[in-house]
Amino acid sequence: MSERESICGDIINEGLVAIVRVPRTELALPLAKALVDGGIRAVELTMTIPNALDAIREIDREMGNDILLGVGTVIDDDTCRAAIDAGAKYVISPVTKPSLVEAAHALDRPVMLGAYTPTEAQTAHEAGSDFIKIFPADTLGPGYIKSLLAPLTHLRIIPTGGVNLDTMESFLAAGSAALGIGSSLLKKKIIESENWPELERLAKQHTDKLAELKTKLGR
């Protein structure tokens, strides 16, 4: 098994990918530690974070294999390669940009291209994207994921947007391979006050819920 395939398996097994956007670089490491302590190992640092590559390097250096660290909001090939060089284990884009697949796969790293329509999702798959990020999923909902997978059963979909404790079951039942989770977990007030114990508590709440749902749905 290649390292890329192994990382894909890890993402599916983890089931939740926390999407991290913070206003200051120095917040990324303690936030990532709180998420991991709460049971969420798959963490996506977005390139919108100031000096995001420095944050990736620091987290990779300090946490190593304790975290499944990815990079998000990647829209060009140079950033893709630089992020992987800094320590990112997978690459996520909000758009359908096929050239990112070649750039990441050349370095044995998986890619999740963004899509909104069936055509975009299939285009991303045909380009070699390991996962399809349906974004923004909050306007589409679990029913859309189920309808999309009916004819396109080969897609491994990870919805982002609208995923929370109340909707997790519906998104999983619709056939999602894993779930991207942002604002319902990484609340603005928690980040502003740097209340990492509360973030850890919320992360555990989400991972406990996921474990319960996987058992219920036979996942």
Residues identified as active-site = 44, 133
Residue tagged 């928690």 (tokens):
190
Q: Are strands 131-134 and 42-46 parallel, antiparallel or unpaired?
A: unpaired
Alpha carbon distance 213, 219 (integer Å): 8
> Where do we find the tokens 């990779």?
60
Amino acid identity for residue 166 in this structure: D
Give CA–CA dist 32/14, Å, rounded: 15
Task: Assess contact for 29 and 62: CB atoms under 8 A.
Answer: yes
